[in-house]
Amino acid sequence: MIIEYIRYTIPAEQEQAFLSAYRDAAAELRGSENCLDYEISRCVEEPTSFIVRIRWDSLEGHLQGFRKAEAFPSFFGKVRPFYERIQEMRHYTLTDVAGAGAGG
């Protein structure tokens, strides 16, 4: 498993369009056998900061599977207007440091 994090800075006046674009693009993510799950988080302290988190089955599944699939141009076309707003786009793996707190 690999986790893709995409960090965006989205001006307040574009927030609804950004979220709407990803709601629409979620159809392609849901249809991908390589996508395990996805979510978008908004920063509380800096409301123009958003993080898109997508869990993929593997790096190859993302880059060779999803990005070369027939659905990718449709997905990318929906989110492309916000491409220039990306601050970081990287893939990560989990470490062995994890656990639950008392509240979880």
Instruction: Quote the pTM value.
Output: 0.94
Alpha carbon separation from 19 to 14, 78, 98, 102 (Å, rounded): 9, 11, 29, 32
Q: How far apart are CA 66 and CA 52, in angstroms?
A: 16
Residue 104 has pLDDT above 80, yes or no: no
Residue in this structure with the two tokens 């395990």, named with its chain if needed: 36
Which class in CATH covers the domain with range 2-92?
alpha beta
Q: Is the pLDDT of residue 11 over 80?
A: yes
Cβ–Cβ contacts within 10 Å for residue 66, how many? 22
CA distance 34 to 72: 12
Tens of pLDDT, residue by residue over 44-100, are 999 999 999 999 999 999 999 999 999 999 999 999 999 999 999 999 999 999 999
Q: What is the mean pLDDT of residues 19-28?
A: 98
Residue 44: CB atoms within 10 A of its CB come to 7
What single-letter DSSP state applies at residue 37?
E
Domain residue spans in the chain? 2-92
Q: Count the Cβ atoms, other than its own, within 10 Å of residue 81.
A: 12
Residue with tokens 């639950």, as numbered in its chain: 100
Could you report the per-residue pLDDT of 25-55, keeping only the tens digit for each?
999 999 999 999 999 999 999 999 999 999 9
